[in-house]
């Protein structure tokens, strides 16, 4: 039994460094002056570039294994932030986050996989589809405004019909346009404009974005009727959603028409396009969107639904649409996280999106504190580093049997944490940028006429 103590110390130092970096970034973002923010963000990205490239002796500070953990933690942080919005801030107990994560991963992977195979159809269909689908949802929504009080099932039927029509058009249009674009890829000897590196990067960005929107649109269709259920019933229905999505993944080449996803064998050959820059860019964008949402009046409406639905209704808050909004945005984050994950790992297997693994974001969110964004971020990084990194490597050093102990020790730690701190590590505390901006108090009790500048 060989045990490397220095490895343990170095790993803990690395985790601390990464967490300190993130919190430093958040602190800088929360700084009042705009110049400081810009300088801070640029500095932060420069620091991580340095950390990834500088060598000490013959090994990098963050080797490939650490970098893998870093990307994984970024994806997990996006998923957990989304779930925290749904469960922590809006109070809807959802187990469906993992399904949306999977949808995002597969959708984004399919686009870039086809693109590297010189086939633009994936991007075109997904792009036109999310655009038309979004337009349809918006249009139906406008139409339904005239019919207040329509039963939710009827509304759902209309949305569903509209979306099916929109996606049929998208598939047809995508196929047609693909023929036009095909010459631009060029031949093997003379690669065209579209098979160049920069084009691929743009496609990757679009793929991840569209995958997020796609997940959000599906979550809209699913959430509209299901969000009317009571809390635990909603939880089980969303768990069912994750399982249905997983089953469809296992049968993606037989029941769904996607032979390139290879069903239960797993999708291989996804271009590994996620770099530290993309991963952190998406994470920072998600954090900024989430923070601004939470501290807006919409965010307060979302939180009021968690506190007391009846009281919120009495204050004139549209409970149903606020629940839906939180659910859709949360799923959007999950979809983006999935896209980032798919392009870092390069291989997607339905086993990754099993509902058992799907409890992980829930555990992370509760670990970090329900209703604390800082907690979710810290818990995601800590969780991935400890469970996937530290425990795996340390137990791996201790013998062949030991790695299975990882999942024996982990529930015990979970039980202890729940006994000691049932409200999570951070409770509802926030840090730096994520704290509520300080709005200057109003001068008088008069109703305000001009919009008061916010703390930004």
Partner 1 sequence: MPEVSAPQPSAAPTRRPGARMAWIGQGFLLLLALLALFILVRDLIQDPLLFVQIVISGLQLGFVYALIALGYTMVYGIVKLINFAHGDVFMVGSFVSFYAVTRFQLHVWPAALFPTLPRGWVVVIGSLTVMLLSMVTCVALAVTIERVAYKPLRDAPRIAALITAIGVSFFLEFFGALNFVFSPRFIPYQRPFEVVTLYIKDGIHILSEGTAPPDGSITFSNIFVIIVAASVLMQVVLQFLVRRTKIGKAMRATSFDKPTARLMGINVDRVISFTFAVGAAFAGLGGVLYAIAYPSIWSQLGILPGLKAFVAAVLGGIGSIPGAFVGALIMGQVEALTMGYISTPMRDAVAFTVLIIVLLVRPTGIFGEPEKEKA
Q: Which positions touch partner 1 (CB under 8 A)?
A: 93, 144, 146-158, 160, 225-226, 228-230, 232-233, 235-237, 239-241, 243-244, 247-248, 250-251, 254-255, 308-310, 356, 359, 362-363, 366, 370, 401, 404-405, 407-408, 410-412, 414-415, 418-419, 422-423
Closest CB to partner 1 among 297 and 310?
310
Nearest distance from C-beta of residue 236 to partner 1, angstroms: 5
Task: Decide whether 234 or 341 has the Cβ nearer to partner 1.
Answer: 234
Please state the closest distance from residue 249 (CB atom) to partner 1, in A.
11
In contact, 28 and 42? CB cutoff 8 Å: no
C-alpha span between 10 and 21 (Å, rounded): 16
Alpha helices in 346-405 (DSSP H): 359-368, 373-383, 392-397
Q: Which two tokens stand for residue 332?
A: 């959007």
Torsion 156-161-162-168 (CA) sign = positive
Least CB distance to partner 1 at residue 261 (A) = 14
Concatenated DSSP letters for 400-450? SSGGGGHHHHHHHHHHHHHHH-TT-SSTT---GGGSPP-PPPPSSSSPP-S
Task: Kindly state the smallest distance separating residue 258's Cβ from partner 1, in Å.
Answer: 15
Question: Which residue's CB is nearer to partner 1, number 153 or number 398?
Answer: 153
Query: CB 80 → partner 1: shortest distance, Å?
Result: 14
Q: How far is the CB of 383 from partner 1 (least distance, A)?
A: 13
Nearer to partner 1, 93 or 205 (CB): 93
CB of 257 to partner 1, least distance (A): 16
Backbone angles phi, psi at 341, to 5 degrees: -60, -45
Tokens of 246: 């997983």
* Cβ atoms of residues 101 and 338 within 8 Å: yes
CB of 407 to partner 1, least distance (A): 4
Residue closer to partner 1 (CB basis): 228 or 292 = 228
456, with CB counted inside 10 A (0-12, 13-18, 19+), is exposed
Neighbours of 19 (CB within 10 A): 15
When the beta carbons of 191 and 427 are compared against partner 1, the nearer one is: 427
Identify which of residues 178 and 251 has a Cβ nearer to partner 1 in the complex: 251
**50 burial via Cβ count (<10 Å: 0-12, 13-18, 19+):** exposed
Name the residue nearer to partner 1 (CB basis): 111 or 391.
Answer: 391
């Amino acid at each position: 039994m060989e045990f490397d103590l220095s490895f343990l110390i170095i790993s803990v130092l690395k985790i601390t460094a990464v967490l300190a970096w993130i919190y430093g970034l958040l602190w800088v973002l929360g700084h009042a002056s705009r110049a400081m923010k810009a300088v801070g963000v640029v500095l932060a990205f420069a620091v991580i570039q340095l950390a990834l490239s500088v060598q000490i002796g013959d090994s990098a500070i963050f080797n490939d294994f650490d970098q893998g953990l870093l990307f994984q933690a970024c994806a997990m942080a996006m998923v957990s932030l989304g779930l925290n919005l749904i469960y922590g801030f809006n109070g809807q107990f959802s187990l469906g986050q993992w399904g949306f994560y999977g949808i995002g991963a597969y959708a984004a992977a399919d686009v870039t996989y086809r693109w590297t195979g010189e086939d633009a159809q994936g991007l075109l269909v997904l792009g036109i589809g999310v655009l038309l689908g979004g337009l349809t949802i918006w249009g139906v929504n406008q139409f339904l405004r005239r019919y207040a009080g329509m039963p939710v099932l009827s509304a759902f039927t209309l949305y569903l019909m509209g979306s099916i029509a929109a996606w049929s058009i998208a598939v047809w249009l995508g196929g047609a346009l693909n023929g036009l674009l095909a010459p631009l890829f060029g031949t093997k000897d003379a690669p065209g404009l579209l098979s160049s590196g920069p084009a691929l990067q743009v496609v990757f960005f679009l793929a991840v974005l569209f995958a997020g929107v796609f997940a959000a649109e599906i979550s809209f269709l699913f959430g509209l009727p299901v969000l009317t259920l009571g809390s635990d019933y909603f939880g089980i229905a969303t768990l069912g959603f994750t399982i249905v999505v997983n089953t469809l993944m296992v049968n993606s080449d037989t029941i769904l028409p996607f032979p390139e996803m290879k069903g239960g064998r797993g999708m291989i050959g996804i271009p590994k396009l996620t770099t530290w820059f993309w991963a952190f860019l998406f994470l920072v964008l998600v954090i900024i969107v989430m923070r601004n949402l939470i501290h807006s009046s919409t965010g307060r409406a979302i939180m009021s639904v968690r506190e007391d639905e009846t009281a919120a209704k009495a204050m004139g808050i549209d409970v149903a649409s606020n629940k839906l909004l939180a659910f859709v945005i949360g799923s959007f984050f999950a979809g983006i996280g999935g896209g980032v994950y798919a392009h870092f790992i390069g291989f997607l297997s339905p086993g990754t999106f099993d509902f058992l693994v799907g409890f992980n974001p829930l555990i992370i969110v509760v670990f970090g504190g329900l209703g604390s964004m800082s907690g979710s971020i810290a818990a995601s990084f800590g969780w991935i580093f400890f469970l996937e990194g530290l425990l795996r490597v340390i137990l791996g050093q201790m013998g062949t049997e030991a790695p299975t102990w990882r999942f024996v020790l982990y529930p015990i730690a979970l039980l202890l944490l729940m006994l000691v701190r049932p409200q999570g590590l951070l409770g509802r505390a926030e840090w730096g940028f994520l704290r509520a901006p300080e709005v200057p108090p109003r001068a008088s009790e008069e109703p305000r006429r001009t919009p008061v500048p916010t703390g930004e």
